[in-house]
């Protein structure tokens, strides 16, 4: 439960927002529940109990950092503490970045789609907090049959200087029928204070559309990032997600796929490399609601120092979802004797003509392999690094974008190398 002091502060904010407004209502709901603690089943290993007593700057201002550039990007958008700006506009009139109200005016049919699809929210008070306090509601709109060959870059920044702060960001992405796009999101931070970064994304991928979404999560220590990504897929669409969790005090990724048409393909790739005093938690849901769809999930983790990792992978195959192929694999290496990994695959299958498989493993580096390498002259730290890199490469190699693949490799190599050197 929230502390009395924090509760009073947030009640005042709710008054200001208007108790009957959507935002005021959402905040009241949050106030009833507070931040999740380890008593909540879905937050068993990722308690935010301490947050219940931390007063924050609930509306931190955006930062006017100089614009970023990337010649490989078609469009560059930057959000700083949830305030969006455009650093590079696209010449393609098939993409628009606008706010929600503007978008609904231009595309009124979407409102019905949007209101009919609410995510299944299980023990998720942070979603309410986000709805209540996010200052903007931007939309990336990719129009019918538009193919964007270069990636869209989203620079997601949270900045805090003195006081602990809370950033509530939202983003809606609408990929229309037959369109094709890639979004690359670099999540970063500046400042030294404690930041709660709470980000909600709703992504609608229409019939026959293709969407690739890559997140590079690389925050400073002190940042707790909670990411909610809800993806709704229509008939014949394909979505590939890549979630690379590199640094932050705490990262919790809730990634939900709702398969709402036949012939859908969903590929979920994840790699987390938490080190000293870091916790990284992946909660994924793949909800097969329609037949003849396929989902492939590959998550890998290297846990260093006293890191904690959590993986919870839910797959639902509803009664209508016959001929579903659903695969899930989560493999982890404990690169330190002080690290912990908690895994829980959870399959619920109501249809009878399906192919589903899942497997989770958590282990240490193979001693035989290490001796073999040492017997050829490779030092123990180098042997460990080589094996760990080979382990993570399977996920990195799936990234098609050459610039991203290289920069991710470099950062991950550096992090693993540093940890291996420290432990020897």
Partner 1 sequence: MLSIKNLHASIGEKEILRGIDLEVKAGEVHAIMGPNGSGKSTLASVLAGREDYEVTQGTVQFLGKDLLDLAPEARAAEGIFLAFQYPVEIPGVSTTNFLKSAVNEIRKYRGEEPMDAVQFLKMFKEKMAYVNIDQSLLSRALNEGFSGGEKKRNEIFQMAVLDPKLAILDETDSGLDIDALRIVAEGVNKLKSPNNATILVTHYQRLLDYIVPDYVHVLYKGRIVKSGTKELALELEERGYDWIKSEVDQ
List residues binding partner 1 (CB under 8 A): 366, 368-369, 371-380, 382, 386-387, 389-391, 393-394
- What is the C-alpha to C-alpha distance for residues 252 and 245, in angstroms, rounded to an integer? 10
Q: In sequence order, which ranges of 18-124 are alpha helices (DSSP H)?
A: 22-33, 100-106, 109-116
Q: Residue 410 CB, nearest distance to partner 1 (Å)?
A: 17
CB of 217 to partner 1, least distance (A): 24
For tokens 């990634």, name the residue.
255
Nearer to partner 1, 52 or 409 (CB): 409
Closest CA to 393 of 368, 410, 373, 374: 410
CB of 380 to partner 1, least distance (A): 7
Q: Enumerate the β-bridge partners of residue 199.
A: 169, 227
Given a contact cutoff of 8 angstroms between Cβ atoms, the answer to whether 107 and 172 are in contact is no
Smallest separation, CB 364 to partner 1 (Å) = 15
The 8-class DSSP code of residue 49 comes to: G
Burial of 15 (0-12, 13-18, 19+ CB in 10 A): exposed
Q: Which residues contact 71 (CB under 8 A, 6 or more apart)?
A: none
Q: Indicate the residue among 228 and 300 with the shorter CB distance to partner 1.
A: 300
Comparing CB distances to partner 1, the nearer of 105 and 337 is: 337
CB of 374 to partner 1, least distance (A): 4
Write down the H helix ranges in 172-248.
none
Contacts of 106 (CB under 8 A, 6+ apart): 96, 98
State the minimum distance, in angstroms, from the CB of residue 205 to partner 1.
Answer: 32
Tokens representing 198 are: 């709470």
Closest C-alpha among 269, 345, 357, 336 to residue 310: 345
Nearer to partner 1, 163 or 374 (CB): 374
Judged by beta carbon, residue 68 or residue 380, the one nearer partner 1 is 380
Shortest distance in whole angstroms from residue 330 CB to partner 1: 17
Length of the chain equals: 424
Measured from the CB atom, the residue of 390 and 414 that comes closer to partner 1 is 390
Q: Please report how close the Cβ of residue 377 comes to partner 1 at its closest, in angstroms.
A: 4
306 or 409: CB nearest partner 1: 409
Phi first, then psi: give them for residue 5, nearest 5 degrees: -60, -50
- Nearer of residues 322 and 423 to partner 1, judged by Cβ: 423
- Minimum CB distance to partner 1, residue 353 (Å): 33
Q: Are 192 and 165 in contact (CB under 8 A)?
A: no
CB of 325 to partner 1, least distance (A): 25
Nearer to partner 1, 122 or 421 (CB): 421
Identify the helix (H) or strand (E) that includes residue 412: helix 402-422
C-beta closer to partner 1: residue 68 or 389: 389
Residues 6+ apart with CB under 8 A from 46: 36, 38, 250, 252, 279, 281, 310
Helix (H) / strand (E) containing 255:
strand 250-259
217 near 251, Cβ under 8 Å?
yes
Strand partners, 181: 211
């Amino acid at each position: 439960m929230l502390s009395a002091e924090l509760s009073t502060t947030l009640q005042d904010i709710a008054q200001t927002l208007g108790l009957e407004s959507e935002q005021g209502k959402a905040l009241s709901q949050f106030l009833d529940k507070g931040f999740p603690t380890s008593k909540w089943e879905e937050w068993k290993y990722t308690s935010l109990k301490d947050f219940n007593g931390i007063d924050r700057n609930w509306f931190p201002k955006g930062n006017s950092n100089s614009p970023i550039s990337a010649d490989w990007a078609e469009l560059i958008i930057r959000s700083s503490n949830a305030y969006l700006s455009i650093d590079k506009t696209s010449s393609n009139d098939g993409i628009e970045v606008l706010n929600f109200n503007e978008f609904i005016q231009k595309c009124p049919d979407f409102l019905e789609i949007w209101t009919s699809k609410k995510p299944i929210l299980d023990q998720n008070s942070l979603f309410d907090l986000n709805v209540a306090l996010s200052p903007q509601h931007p939309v990336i709109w990719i129009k019918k049959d538009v193919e964007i060959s270069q990636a869209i870059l989203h620079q997601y920044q949270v900045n805090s200087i003195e006081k602990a702060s809370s950033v509530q960001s939202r983003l809606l992405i609408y990929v229309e029928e037959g369109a094709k796009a890639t979004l690359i999101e670099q999540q970063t931070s500046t400042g030294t204070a404690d930041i709660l970064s709470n980000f909600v994304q709703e992504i609608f991928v229409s019939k026959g559309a293709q969407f690739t979404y890559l997140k590079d999560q690389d925050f400073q220590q002190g940042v707790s990032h909670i990411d909610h990504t809800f993806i709704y897929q229509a008939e014949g669409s394909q979505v590939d997600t890549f979630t690379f969790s590199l640094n932050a005090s705490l990262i919790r990724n809730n990634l939900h796929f709702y398969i709402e048409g036949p012939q859908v393909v969903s590929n979920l790739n994840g790699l987390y490399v938490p080190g000293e005093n870091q916790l990284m938690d992946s909660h994924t849901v793949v909800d097969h609601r329609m037949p003849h769809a396929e989902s492939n999930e590959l998550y890998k983790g290297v846990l260093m120092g006293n890191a904690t990792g959590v993986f919870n992978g839910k797959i639902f195959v509803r009664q209508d979802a016959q001929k579903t192929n659903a695969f899930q694999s989560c493999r982890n290496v404990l690169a330190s004797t002080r690290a912990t990994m908690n895994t829980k695959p959870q399959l619920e299958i109501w249809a009878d003509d399906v192919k589903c498989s899942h497997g989770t493993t958590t282990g240490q580096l193979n001693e035989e392999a290490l001796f073999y390498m040492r017997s050829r002259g490779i030092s123990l730290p180098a042997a460990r690094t080589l094996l760990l890199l080979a382990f993570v490469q399977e996920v990195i190699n799936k990234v098609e974008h050459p610039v991203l693949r290289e920069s991710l490799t470099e950062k991950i190599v550096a992090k693993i190398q540093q940890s291996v050197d420290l432990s020897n």
